[in-house]
Amino acid sequence: MSVTLTEGAIEALHNGLQVDTPVLQLLKKCQITNTSGPPRFRLAMSDGQHSLSSFLLATQLNHLPENNLLVPNCVCILKKTITSTLADGRRVVVVTDMEILQSAEEAGRKIGNPTPYNAESRMSASENLLSSTSVSASPPPAANPGPSYKNNSKVHAPQGSGRGFVEKSPMKFTPTEASPMKFTPTEASPMKFTPTEASPMKYTPKKVSPVKFTPTEASPMKYTPKKVSPVMFSPAEASPMKTSPMKFTPEKVSPMKFSPTKMSPMKYTPKKVSPMKATSASPGSTPKVIPIANLNPYQSKWAVRARVTSKSSIRTWSNSRGDGKLFSFEIVDESGEIRITAFNKEVDSFFSLVEQGKVYYISKATLKPANKQYTTVKHDYEMTLNAHSSIVPCDDSQGIPTVHCDFVPIAELENRHKDAIIDVIGVCKSADDVSRITTKTSREVSKRALSLIDTTGKVVTVTLWGEEAERFDDSGQPVVAIKGARLSDFGGRSLSALFSSTVMVNPDIPEAFRLRAWYDHEGYAADSQSLTETWSVSSASKMNWKALSDVKDEHMGHGEKAEYFSCVATVLYTRKENCLYQACLSADCNKKVIEQQNGRYRCEKCNREFPNFKYRLLLSANLADYGDNQWVTCFQETAEVLLGHSAETLGQLRDTDEAAFAEVFHKVNFTTHIFKNRVKLETYNDECRVKVTVIEVQPVDHREYSRRLLGNIRRLAS
């Protein structure tokens, strides 16, 4: 099949004119290596008439060449491009969206006989380019960030030979948002600036002798200008240099391995920048807003308009290098989200200004590759605020989503790994009350468990902690969305809100409305299946089952802490002598009272006298199973359950009917129960003994017991 290329497109694109989805053939592609960050691909495209090699592929399309979809001779349609002008006048077309129309095999060979367009854009362009002033005259229309370049160029316009321009526009070039020239032009480095010309391209090697890139990382600029090496920019002249090391094309060196990331354009000497800074800071001249998804370090003048989705509190740290404080927040707009961190001084400036849920214009922050271990936000880069950053509240929040979430259907949670960070949305079917839990570190924390159900019909339990637990209002079965909860395998599958999670009740997003509608119509009746087992089951599954022989074999209780275990055992003997004692009547005081001469009873702990006492049980029993027997102590509660009578009744029975009293104890013998015990090594008058106390007595659930045994057998057999 034949596909027609859009002739004249190359010319148009290069001149910055709008072309409607041109069809071009790929002649060559080459990968520009970076020291950090994703690779960049540079393409040479042809329209049958002309060819141009200054096409750059936006990183979001990197998968095309990496998966060998984009190969020389294939024909593609460029759906979105941005043409930008470098400060030196060269044009670069950044392709942000394209599709392959015909594979290389189908196309066969080079279509037409394209001649390289605008040879000046390549090597020999230097002269033209270097007279940058003219560049400013033709602003690239398509580029959003374009204006920044425009401004740039305009700014340096007067300078002519570069020197003056130094003052004017430090940084402003980042010609394309794509990558400040990370061209490793295989064919010819456009950057061939002949240093001789004091090109606005920032270095005037002539003037500056040994220019040294201050961004030390920019060493890849293996730029060896004929005249000067090593290149060193003295701030006075060279500040622009600093910003775009890329601009040199030492003839020798290619590819320019600059690590653009380090070269964050922002690192310009403030003093030069000040005029700039002032302009951008003033609310009146808000720079052109770009989508968050397009943010990258190679762009100098940008602004984003976004809503703050979550804000952390100020955290301080101190390590060997000193102390510091930071806070971070995430912003979202229609295109995506990104994380922003502010350190030290910026914390003071911005912490009170930034509020969750509000929309701001943010500009002039530093971009660098995202440190994925600190964040779950999906963006290649992250932002750091610096002294020049500006955050201005914005009133127009139209079009900005309140939050950007990738909700996972509850049924899918089973397929995710434990400890994954998940966003989830569901209707809160029910919520437990707030409970206070004391953690092992003796901190008291509130917690609350909610059951969320969604359209998949599955239910999962979500745990909220601290303030969120207390604040949560579950009336009316609200739609709850949680961003950044951690999936755990507690009780099957359950979710826990983290410090960094955001819990939104009845959020203003389409999924919430859908869920509300579904729930009101069908969901409330749906018989849902919970992924998180009920508490009783899960607590049973955590019981530490042991046989009585294990207590001795494993030296349980010998450590510092008491150990807990459960066992199925039979009562062999219960001691009826000394099973009852007279206890203090005060509530919560169970101390033994001494009978005094006057017939009253004295409690040593309360230091009080009472006319009466209450009977309490302290039962000694011998339990046994197939392996061993064990003497245990049962206190009041467990003894009453075991014997089946209250302490008072037994007290009276002892005084009245001896036989009946004995019978009670007799009946217990040879009954089997599930005992939950606490075992600890205790020292009593120089003697160390392992003491076992019964915490809970339960009847044997034979089915559960059988299942457990069958499981054990199978496990032992395999």
Residue ranges in contact with another protein by CB under 8 A: 702-703, 706-707, 710, 713-714, 717
**Residue at token pair 């919520």:** 431
**Smaller CB distance to another protein: residue 604 or 701?**
701
Helix ranges restricted to H, 531-657: 535-541, 548-553, 636-643, 647-656
Of the pair 512, 674, the CB lying nearest another protein is at 674
Of residues 77 and 700, the one with the C-beta less far from another protein: 700
290: left (phi over 0), alpha (psi -120 to 50) or beta: beta
CB of 524 to another protein, least distance (A): 31
Q: Least CB distance from residue 716 to another protein, whole Å? A: 10
DSSP labels for 311-352?
Answer: EPPPEEEEETTEEEEEEEEEEE-SS-EEEEEEEHHHHHHHTT
Roughly how many angstroms between the first and final C-alpha of the chain, as a whole number? 62
CA-nearest of 169, 93, 156 to 130 is: 156
- Write the Ramachandran bin of 174: left for phi over 0, alpha for psi from -120 to 50, otherwise beta: beta
For residues 286 and 672, which CB has a smaller minimum distance to another protein in the complex? 672
* CB-nearer residue toward another protein: 544 or 706: 706
In the bound state with another protein, the residue whose beta carbon lies nearer, of 575 and 707, is 707
For the CB of residue 706, give the shortest distance to another protein in the complex, in Å. Answer: 5
Under a CB-based contact definition with an 8 Å cutoff, are residues 591 and 603 in contact? yes
Q: How many CB atoms lie within 10 A of CB 467?
A: 9
Quote helix, strand, coil % in the chain, to nearest 5.
25, 30, 45
Helix axes 270-281, 235-243, angle to 10 degrees: 60
CB of residue 477 to another protein, shortest distance in Å: 35
- Identity of the residue, 536 or 607, whose beta carbon is nearer to another protein in the bound complex: 536
At its nearest, how many Å lie between another protein and the CB of residue 714?
8
Decide whether 539 or 706 has the Cβ nearer to another protein.
706
Shortest Cβ 672–another protein spacing (Å)? 14
Q: At what angle are helices 647-656 and 636-643 packed, to 10 degrees? A: 60
CB of 484 to another protein, least distance (A): 42
CA-to-CA distance for 199 and 201, rounded, in angstroms?
Answer: 5
Q: How many other β-carbons are positioned within 10 Å of the β-carbon of residue 678?
A: 17
Largest separation between any pair of C-alpha atoms in the chain = 123
Nearer to another protein by Cβ, of 517 and 713: the residue is 713
CA distances from 558 to 393, 514, 555, 691 (A): 63, 58, 6, 10
Least distance from another protein to the Cβ atom of residue 700, Å: 10
Q: Give the other-Cβ count within 10 Å of 293's Cβ.
A: 19
**Shortest Å distance, C-beta 644 to another protein:** 19
Sheet holding 608-610, edge to edge: 593-595, 601-603, 608-610
CA 265 to CA 173: how far, in whole Å?
8
Nearest distance from C-beta of residue 698 to another protein, angstroms: 14
**CB of 709: closest distance to another protein in angstroms?**
9
Between 158 and 699, whose beta carbon lies closer to another protein? Answer: 699
- Cα–Cα distances (Å) from 676 to 30, 572, 637, 668, 673, in that order, read 70, 17, 13, 17, 10
Q: Which is nearer to another protein, 545 or 573 (CB)?
A: 545
